[in-house]
Amino acid sequence: MIHLVPGAATLAQLATIYTEEAPVRLDRAARPAVERAADAIASAAAGDAPVYGVNTGFGKLASMRIAPKDTATLQRNLILSHCCGVGAPIPRAHARLMMALKLLSLGRGASGVRWELIELLEHMLERGVTPVIPAQGSVGASGDLAPLAHMTAVIIGAGEAEFAGQVLPGAEALAKAGLAPIPLGPKEGLAFINGTQFSTAFALAGLFDGWRAAQAALVTSALSTDAIMGSTAPLQPEIHTLRGHAGQIEAAATMRALLDGSEIRESHREGDTRVQDPYCIRCQPQVTGAAMDVMRMAATTLATEANAATDNPLVLSEAGLIVSGGNFHAEPVGFAADMIALALAEIGAIAQRRIALMVDPTLSYDLPPFLTPDPGLNSGYMIAEVTTAALMSENKHLAHPTVTDSTPTSANQEDHVSMAAHGARRLGQMVGNLDRILGVELLCAAQGIEFRAPLVTSAPLQAVIAHLRATIAPLGEDRYLAPDLEAAGRLIASGRAAEAAGLPLPEITP
């Protein structure tokens, strides 16, 4: 059970919710503030003054007054009418993280929902009732309206949910879990669907999975350096200290530790006619380290957003006000997603150049063409390298900014939007591409190092190769390679390839 304090949840807690599907419970100290805000909304609903979303219509219809007897119907209609998502259902882990983020937002005590709704959301997480949420339909402003409506529909007994491996009508899924739907009161539907939790969940998932790929890239780049008998002189700590960027300093230090004790490296310290290695070897800390710094900047934004109250209007209990604002606008999340996308694309771009270096006999320092022991009759990793070029190019296109692509919606009431939802959603595809690029690099670098026998690499890198070889044999004669590429990509995605080195790797929060 993860105990979350609204306003103080950590990236580590959110990563655990995402990767382990852990149940969530809000700190009970949040309850008084939540109930004060709910009381304020109840009073407003009983009064005569117009309050947006409490006794008025929504968006362009905000000028329409709603009678007190119709406020519950207003909220139910809001949810049902906004269930307009399309496309494939999002993964369960992302849906659960989205639910946890909504708990954090409601727990700030500015949304005006009753505590029993928070408890129902907690019980759904604990008992495995996961709303079926279509992936497409949010423009990331006025909240992630459609996906959050699909999430909320289950709370009121509508929509669909997954439970015990089955997709069921929402009311049936709740009943099988021993839960009951709760009709929404004044503003409660609006509180649930105004917010950035869909965009933020996908951005966080991209961050967590992307960081694991960045860690793996440090390991695969060290392997590639030894495979082509590259120099470790560019890893000298003073070089990186003189520049001062934290990620660069950490990347260089990690690579030094990974390569320490390599017989291959020691064998060419003297008499090597090459003066400098290509940039993909020499500038690895500057590129991967910069990507790490960018991802950490995004992480700071997303940690703040995860703890934010992002619906509208907000109940300012101490001031005695209910105020319309714009915290639902996901511009910060959109920027963060674009930053992560750029980092992922660049880690893949330089890794692909290392692969190209290793398969090219004119650049690989005496490795056989395409890393096959019998070139000509065999093509080795020739087309595996081409595949990585395709994936690299795809990621470059996917890295183009989405946050700059606004369009007016809702009869020009919502006339600037963030496009954070698909900006964040595309990160999953990019990480998958990057994992496969790094998987091919792992295969090529291990093969290259084995061609250097009887010289051996460092102990940490030997351990990585041994872990790889427990799953994938060296490439002798050509064979059906697609399963090897997928298996190597899984070793990267799982973190097992990097962990096999047995050394500390940079963390997302240094």
Q: What is the tens place of the pLDDT at every residue in 471-484?
A: 999 999 999 999 99
Q: Mean pLDDT score of the chain, rounded to an integer?
A: 94
Task: Determine the average pLDDT of the residues in 487-510.
Answer: 94
d(CA 508, CA 501): 19
- Coil, strand or helix: which one is 4? strand
pLDDT at 409: 82
Give the whole-number percent of the chain exceeding pLDDT 70.
98
CB neighbour list of residue 48: distance below 8 Å, 6 or more residues apart: none
Contact 492, 219 (CB under 8 A): no
Contact 333, 196 (CB under 8 A): yes
Q: Does residue 166 have a pLDDT over 70?
A: yes
Task: Determine the average pLDDT of the residues in 421-438.
Answer: 97
The model carries a pTM of 0.96
* Pair of tokens at residue 507: 């963390």
Task: Determine the average pLDDT of the residues in 252-267.
Answer: 96
pLDDT at 60: 64
Task: Determine the average pLDDT of the residues in 195-201.
Answer: 97
Q: Does residue 62 have a pLDDT over 70?
A: no
Q: Does residue 294 have a pLDDT over 90?
A: yes
pLDDT at 47: 81
pLDDT at 510: 57
Task: Determine the average pLDDT of the residues in 435-459.
Answer: 98
Task: Determine the average pLDDT of the residues in 339-365.
Answer: 97
Residue count of the chain, please give it. Answer: 510
The confidence band for 470, taking pLDDT boundaries of 50, 70 and 90, is very high
pLDDT at 271: 75
Task: Determine the average pLDDT of the residues in 228-256.
Answer: 97
Instruction: Summarize pLDDT for 373-416 with one digit per residue, the tens.
Output: 999 999 999 999 999 999 999 999 999 999 998 888 877 777 78
The confidence band for 59, taking pLDDT boundaries of 50, 70 and 90, is low
pLDDT at 418: 85
Q: Is 480 a catalytic residue?
A: no
Place of tokens 């470790």: 232
Q: Based on the number of CB atoms within 10 Å of its own CB, is 91 exposed (0-12), middle (13-18) or buried (19 or more)?
A: middle
Task: Determine the average pLDDT of the residues in 320-335.
Answer: 92
Catalytic hit among 18, 52, 365, 381: 52
Q: Does residue 151 have a pLDDT over 70?
A: yes
